Amino acid sequence: MTDETEQKILNAALKIFSQKGYDGAKTKTIAKESGFSEVTLFNRFKTKRNLYNKVATQNTAKIKEDIYSMLKDYRHEKPAAFLRTLIKDLFKLFDDNIEFMHLTVEEASKPSEQFELEFFNVLIVHLEKNIQNDKMDYQALATTLFTFTYMHSLAKYKGRHYFDQDKLLEGFMNNIMMCIR
C-alpha cells in the first residue's frame, strides 16, 4: 500500500522520468516536483533506481489491470467492429497513461521490456481470437495498432493536434480492413 507522500513522489517521478528519461532525471527535480525534500525521497526509496522500479511496477500493474478489464468482454462477430472498439479503447488507455507509455517506449530497462512483452502478448491473443485469418501476422498487426495509437496519443499529449481522431480512425480502419480481407 502506498501512502499519500509516497504516491506524490511516484507521480512526480513518473512525470520527470517521462520527460527526461532515467539518466536525465535528477532526484532533486523529482523531489521539488513532488513538493517534498530530496531527503524524504531517499528515506522512502533509498535510491533513484528503486524509485524508478517502483514507478514502473506500479504503472505496469495499473495498465495490466486496465487492459485485462478492457479486453475481457470483447465479443464481436465482425473483425471491423472488434478493431474499431479496440482502437478506441487503446486511444483512451494511452491518453490516460501517456507518461508511462512514453517512458516505456523510450527507456531500455527490464521493467519496460517485461511490460511491452506482456502488453503485446495480451493484444496478440485477443487479435487471434477475434480476427480469424490464417494469413494474418498478428504480431505485425499488434505492433501497428500499438504504434498508431501511441503516436496519436503522444502527439496529443505534446499539444500537436495534427489529425481529427475520428477521421484518422476511419482511414486507418479502411486500410486495416483491406489487409485483413
pLDDT per residue as tens digits for the range 99-110: 999 888 887 766
pLDDT of residue 131: 87
Judged against a pLDDT cut of 70, whether residue 52 lies above it is answered with: yes
Predicted confidence at residue 22, as pLDDT, reads 92
17 pLDDT exceeds 80? yes
What pLDDT, on the 0 to 100 scale, is given for residue 111? 67
Q: Which CATH entry fits the domain spanning 55-180: 1.10.357, 1.10.3470, 3.30.70, 3.40.50?
A: 1.10.357
Q: The pTM is what?
A: 0.85
How far is residue 29 from each of residues 20, 95, 112, 127, measured CA to CA in Å? Answer: 10, 25, 22, 41
All structural domains of the chain with their residue ranges: 55-180
What pLDDT is recorded for position 132?
85
